[in-house]
Amino acid sequence: MSLIYEPSRAFSKEARIKNMCEYKELCLQAEDDYTGYWAKLAREKIDWFEPFHTVLDESNAPFYKWFLGGKLNVTHQCLRRHLNVRKNKAAIIWESEFGDKRIITYLQLYYRVNRMANLMKNKFDIKKGDRVILYMPMIPEAVFAMLACAKIGAIHSVVFGGFSAEALRDRIEDSKAKLVITADGAFRRGKPYMLKPIVDEALSIGCECCKKVLMIERNKEPVNYKRGRDYIYNELIMQESQYCDPEPMDSEDPLFLLYTSGSTGKPKGVQHSSAGYILWAQYTMEHVFDVKENDTFWCTADIGWITGHTYIVYGPLAMGATTFIYEGTPTYPDAGRFWKNIEEHRINQFYTSPTAIRMLHKEGSNEPSKYDLSSLKVLGTVGEPINPDAWLWLRESVGNNRCSIVDTWWQTETGGHMISPLPGATPQKPGYATFPLPGICAEIVDNNGNQVPRGKKGLLCITKPWPSMIRTIWGDSKRFVKAYFSDVKKDGKPVYFSGDGAIMDEDGYIMITGRTDDVINVSGHRLGTAEIEAVLAHHENVSEVAVVGKPNPIKGEGIFAYIVLKNASDNIGEEIDMIKELNKLVVKQIGAIARLDAIKFVPGLPKTRSGKIVRRILRSIARNEEINQDTSTLENPAIVEQIQMLDAN
């Protein structure tokens, strides 16, 4: 029997959703009148310029359209409408590793965003629909830039600052961005690191489309400037007006693109809409975090990921909450830093990754007790499955057995939470994302779309469209249909397949078991095995390569590469050099997050008779699991044992 933890009575009493009856009531409302449920919410929550006439258009499925006819601007929702009631409230509280602080009120943020929007319009000729790449550290200017794009209808695409020049170039080129906004660099672990030189390099190896670079001065380290191409934000921004008319946007106009890895080929530009997305950001802030007017909300993700988009920027600001932004690492100067931040800023909701929790547990299990964490109400995790050990430590040591824990399952493609406990209602079980949000039809099915029995693993699908769903893959609508709407059908109709496996237990609780495709989840970051393989295959001495994930106690999964060399060597020194070279290649082409945990040089790879590499067998070998697949049908059955022997050494 697994343990169940009820929400605290005191918390439930004040929560928006107070118990499971209220939760079920909402689920029933959505079931009875699906479009009516979302229409009511959209009317109540969004401050429309013009009302919508059609809630959901399914005529061109799976290209679903929501709230047609409606006009809005997301910055009106996140800023302008708050000025009447909370203009002097802190919108952003920012802190650096060194402890420097900046507080930006809603009125100040509104002015900053307007100035930046005007700068983009006037200086760089950015118009509605143009793409702008943001390659930024965790500073408030990153938020200004995102919202400035939204204000004038430009489509931002934030690229995580850990990605390499090649990865940045690919994203600039795929989105055909006209402008890159970046910073000279920032600080990490007390030392400066650089971003602008990486932008320079990206533009030197391609990116014809991109003519201008706007750079924010952050660490003031020397950088190169290219006349006529590079501009310094700090010198220009105060010349711009602090007023700017918002571009009226259609509900379905894209708000942003965010690149994520798939199981094949190059990264996918996940396209999100304006109305459906912002509705979801707000809906989930209310239900999953139960954020109240005076709360300070902290999400530790980087803004380069979807979590940062929805739960650092759009969600908290749409709510009129205070969002805390921390530019730093969890263990600098020590493993108490997060708890110190929580104490100092009286954080009420704290949202982070299982990897961070496992690391802080390991490096400072006693640290939380040194700080006053009594302001905390809700603790959230996202990005990967959380093991019960880490969950229990979080509950006991950080939450003092008082806070609800929300293990939120969702994806870049879903825009916001899909399956999660509601903190005032759901009895929580460690390791379980529990139940779908009201209105979300999550089903665990087999390949034929039939629900699998409880206790059995199946494919996690969302069987009805929802407002914040991915609209398409930028520039590749065929791939959109193939990647998400071709594996599973229900009643003859293709439904959204997440790529994840899941199990429902006897109480109806959902546990996410992880990806079922060739995607590896390292510290909550998605990497496609195909992407990494393509980089490794580039090396002149690599003949064949297969990449798989292997469980890692801190990072969730680590990256394992099996490589067949053209010219193998018995010399250990040469092998070590080769390993170093291959790792350098991966870091250069993708970024440090793709660094390999292990490389094994093997004489061959297990293949089917038709020549397909059977990664499943390699995965079992990497995990030291028994191979329960029939290997006799392989083209080269003997190879399995050979690799196993090598692996044991």
Stretch in the footprint of ligand WT7 (CB under 6 A) among 171-179, 220-228, 403-411, 612-620: 403-411
Pairing of β 131-135 and β 155-158: parallel
Give me 376's structure tokens: 């905390």
Q: Which residue from 408, 516, 529, 583 is in contact with ligand WT7, where contact means CB under 6 A?
A: 408
The stretch near ligand WT7 (CB under 6 A) out of 180-188, 382-390, 483-491, 603-611 is: 382-390
Q: Where are the beta strands (DSSP E) in 11-89?
A: 54-57, 65-68, 71-72
Binding of ligand WT7 at residue 274 (CB under 6 A)? no
Residues 302-321 that bind ligand WT7 (CB under 6 A): 305-307
**Contact call for residue 380 and ligand WT7 (CB under 6 A):** no
CA dist list (Å): 556 to 352, 428, 528: 14, 22, 15
Q: How far apart are CA 396 and CA 415, in angstroms?
A: 30
CA-to-CA distance for 338 and 75, rounded, in angstroms?
Answer: 30
Choose, by CB under 6 A, the member of 260, 284, 322, 323 that binds ligand WT7. Answer: 260
Positive or negative CA dihedral for 567, 570, 572, 573? negative
Whichever of 120 and 159 has its CB closer to ligand WT7, that residue is: 159
Alpha-carbon gap, residue 581 to 392, rounded angstroms: 41
* Residue 515 makes contact with ligand WT7 by CB under 6 A: yes
Segment 280-299, which members bind ligand WT7 (CB under 6 A)? none
> What is the distance, to the nearest Å, from the Cα of residue 626 to the centroid of all Cα atoms in its chain?
33
Residue 129 corresponds to which tokens in the numbers above? 């629909």
Please report where in the chains the tokens 């297990």 appear, as a residue. Answer: 606
Asked if 555 interacts with ligand WT7 (CB under 6 A), we say no
Residue 150 Cβ, how far from ligand WT7 at the closest point, in Å? 20
Query: Is residue 418 a contact point for ligand WT7 (CB under 6 A)?
Result: no
* 409 near ligand WT7, rule: CB under 6 A: yes
Does 384 help bind ligand WT7 (rule: CB under 6 A)?
Answer: yes
Nearest alpha-carbon partner for 304 in 191, 200, 167: 167
* Interaction between residue 170 and ligand WT7 (CB under 6 A): no
- Please name which of 108, 101, 555, 104 lies closest in space to residue 327, comparing C-alpha atoms: 101
Site for ligand WT7 in 26-45 (CB under 6 A): none
Residue nearest to ligand WT7 (CB): 412
**487 lies in the site for ligand WT7, by CB under 6 A:** no
**Which residues make Cβ contacts (< 8 Å) with residue 137, sequence separation at least 6?**
161, 183, 185, 186, 195, 218, 327
Question: Angle between the 529-537 and 572-589 helix axes, to the nearest 10 degrees?
Answer: 120
| b (16+ CB within 10 A) / e for 441-451 | bbbbbeeebee
Binding segment for ligand WT7 (CB under 6 A), chosen from 60-68, 166-174, 195-203, 300-308, is 300-308
- Tell me the closest approach of the beta carbon of residue 445 to ligand WT7, in angstroms: 16
Q: Which is nearer to ligand WT7, 486 or 571 (CB)?
A: 486
Residue 521 lies near ligand WT7 (rule: CB under 6 A)? yes
What is the spatial distance between Cα 559 and Cα 537, in angstroms, rounded to a whole number?
16
Of 191-199, 342-350, 498-506, 540-548: span binding ligand WT7 (CB under 6 A): 498-506
Nearest distance in Å: CB 487, ligand WT7: 14
433 binds ligand WT7 (CB under 6 A): yes
Residue from 383, 438, 467, 591 that binds ligand WT7 (CB under 6 A)?
Answer: 383
Smallest gap from Cβ 526 to ligand WT7, in A, equals: 4
Map residues 336-375 to x or -, x wherever contact with ligand WT7 holds by CB under 6 A. ----------------------------------------
411 binds ligand WT7 (CB under 6 A): yes
Question: Should residue 412 be labelled a site residue for ligand WT7 when binding is judged by CB under 6 A?
Answer: yes
Choice between 118 and 352, CB closer to ligand WT7: 352
**Considering the complex, what minimum distance in angstroms separates the CB of residue 421 from ligand WT7?**
11
Q: Is 382 an interacting residue with respect to ligand WT7 (CB under 6 A)?
A: yes
* # residues near ligand WT7 by CB under 6 A: 24
The distance of closest approach from Cβ of residue 93 to ligand WT7 in the complex, given in angstroms and rounded to an integer, is 23
Using DSSP's 3-state secondary structure scheme, residue 60 falls into coil
Name the minimum Å distance from CB 429 to ligand WT7.
Answer: 13
Report the distance separating Cα 649 and Cα 645, nearest Å.
7
Q: In this chain, which of 65, 526, 555, 619 binds ligand WT7, going by CB under 6 A?
A: 526
Q: If binding is defined by CB under 6 A, does position 524 make contact with ligand WT7?
A: yes
Cα dihedral: 227, 233, 237, 238 (round 10): -90
Cα separation, 594 vs 256, whole angstroms:
24
**Which is nearest to 38 in space by CA: 24, 22, 52?**
52
What 8-state DSSP symbol labels residue 453?
A: P
Is the Cβ of residue 263 or residue 636 nearer to ligand WT7 in the bound state? 263
Q: Is 470 in the site for ligand WT7 (CB under 6 A)?
A: no
Q: Residue 309 or residue 464: which is nearer to ligand WT7 going by CB?
A: 309
- Least distance in Å: CB of 412 to ligand WT7? 3
Residue 127 vs 456, nearer CB to ligand WT7 = 456
Angle at 94 between CA 419 and CA 152, to 5 degrees: 75
Quote the least distance from Cβ 381 to ligand WT7, whole Å. Answer: 6
Q: For helices 20-32 and 34-45, what crossing angle results, to 10°?
A: 110
Pick the closer one to ligand WT7 by CB: 288 or 306: 306
| Residue 62 or 185 with smaller CB distance to ligand WT7 | 62
Do 425 and 23 contact (CB within 8 A), yes or no?
yes
Burial class (CB in 10 A: 0-12, 13-18, 19+), 422: buried
What's the token pair of residue 199?
A: 């932008």
- Between 215 and 425, name the residue whose CB sits nearer to ligand WT7: 425
Q: Positive or negative, the Cα torsion across 503, 504, 505, 509?
A: positive
Smallest separation, CB 27 to ligand WT7 (Å):
20
Q: Report CA-CA distances (Å) from 93 to 139, 143, 237.
A: 10, 12, 21
Of the residues 118, 271, 322, 498, which one makes contact with ligand WT7 according to CB under 6 A: 498
Nearer to ligand WT7, 151 or 526 (CB): 526
| Closest C-alpha to 291, from 375, 377, 373 | 377
Please give the residue ranges that form the binding site for ligand WT7 (CB under 6 A).
260, 305-307, 382-385, 407-412, 433, 498-500, 512, 514-515, 521, 524, 526
